[in-house]
Structure 1
Amino acid sequence: MPTLKFKYFLFLFTLLSLFSCTNTSNSADFIQKAKGRYLYNSDEVIDVYFKNDVMYMAWRGATDIKPLKINDSIFYVKEMNAKIKFLKNPADQLTYMALVPKEKDQPVTYNYKKLKDGEKVPSEYLKDNEFDKALTGYLAIKERDSLNPVIDEGNFNSLGYAALREKKYDEAINIFKINVALHPTSANVYDSLGDAFRKKGDTIQAIANYKKSLEFDSGNARAKRIISRLEKKE
């Protein structure tokens, strides 16, 4: 009986054989249909683009991922360990990157929706300092799934303090404000926002946020010390 390792190499050999016999270029109609950005998850995008009519992808920091062309409509993406095709979903008439079912009797699923031109995910708005749009996107994610790791409090805290270390005070304040909006009952988010205002030199807002932190954690000795020190300076 063939081992799993043997089956895997046989599978790769078959794919490579198919690839070697298949023209890697694509038609103009297919390129127009497939090129674009696809929503992989609530805050992550797969970018599909073409060079010399050959398909490439950018995903999770990797660029120039070159899918193996199986035929004119199906491609194998090693990094995803999946075969993909591009289909229009009859339910919304939008183009999707669909994973090809592993079994013939499995139904087609429309996995990754093609984004509209100019449409961004929240982290992209955040990177571009479009904080209101970023917040709107993150709040929508929270409404759909309050446990989504994309809106984890610690992630925003780390981003905010990274901005503080670079003395980007307004950026840090806006990031911490997003964290406050997403986690309004957390003492830590107000404490962090207080730090950002304090570093900027806005004593009034710093004190207000440290006091807000104490409403949710009356044992925050650090906040009490900072408030006492700041109030003496006023």
Structure 2
Amino acid sequence: MHKAVVTHNGVSKQKFLNNYQLYQEGWDTLAQARFWQDVIDLTHDSMIVNVASIRKPLMKVATSQWHCLTETEKNSYKQNLCIYNSMDENTNIFVTSGKKFFFEYKKVLPLISRSLPVFEALEVDPWFAQAILVIESPGKTEARSYVGARGPFQLMPYVAKQYGLVVSKYRDDRTDLEKSAAGAAKLIKNICLPYARKMLDEKGIAYNEKDLWFRLFTLHIYHAGAGNVAAVINKINPTEGGMDLIRTMWRTEAAGFKNESQNYSQIALASLINFDRLLSQHKDTVFMIQGDRLLDLYAKKQTKPTDTLAYLNNCLSAYECDLVDGAVPFQYFVEKTARVRKEIEKYNIQHGYATGYLAINESERLHQLGNELMYKRKFNEAIEVFQLGIEKNPIAPATYDSLGRAYRLIGNHDLAIKYAKKSKEVIQNPGAFLKLKP
């Protein structure tokens, strides 16, 4: 299917794949898929307490509160939950933090459209390109895992070199989308698919390579390696494939096939569902910048909000999310949010509301936005946001302090010390930081 993708600098037609099997066969109704959808939609300041074996959510807790507990208190908390929910007190309970910050689906859109033809040219099912890109460090072409995998397809160094990519101190082709896509396609074609066929043939299991369960099975080999998947299959000793086999793999450990490996196809399903949701929000069009969509509707009077101020504040929130998601550059964000704030000011004046609080309100929002960018390790963008916040409200000590932390994290210790001092000075003498108008 093709979609018109609207960005800050134009409109382009991009190709994506339909995941109809996922819904026809009921994969979207599985508890594990729904659980990971919730996790992906959840911000990092919250966690879901859940039953590990079936990923049944029990409750949500604040991340800060959970981390304040001792290990003894955490264990006691879990045992009490088991008792309250009439479960065996030895039930394995996980506490899973929100992953919304990690899954940047909007940034994946152009990567998928460019990767599909690479897989097709190498005669590899392009479904794997789309699936891997929405799972493995989505939108982060430079990402490196703790085991050394890197790039949009998270290839290990030895795998990349095996398929012709250069990986050295001075050059790493794994960060090149087309080269990385070709390496991943060759890995699937030469290793993953042959081993998937071999394992299933040895068990006498019939399969169609276009079936979703077979694709998920192959994905497990891509992620965990053929040896670990063979170990779990030998332990299960299945006689049939299908959804039941995949679900049994989710509950079975063998060799290196443990929790992270079990989660992989669960997260794949959740990611594909969430990605489909992004693609289908506005029929044949995908708006990369939700702030623009809302503001354009308002400017063209195509919407008549019952609460204009709430609607305009939603526009600001949308632009803030767009910046955090990497959908817009900083200067574009500044120009567009300034336009929204002018609309807010105009509305307030027309209705006799006070406007003096707007600069303080903007400063507070910018401080919170900067901290969100810091959490996503977007330090340079955070610095620009904090600087803008200080411009709007020069007597905000928390913003000076956050700006100092941001500079420290990028290695600029002189500016880190400078703004840490300013944070203390503005508390002691705020008047010195106010620009007096003539």
Would you call these one fold, judging by a TM-score over 0.5?
no
TM-score w.r.t. length of structure 1: 0.38
**As a proportion of its length, which structure holds more helix?**
2
**Which structure is higher in RCO with an 8 Å CA cutoff and minimum separation 6?**
2
Higher strand content, 1 or 2 = 1
Q: Normalising by the residue count of structure 2, what TM-score does the alignment of the two structures yield?
A: 0.22
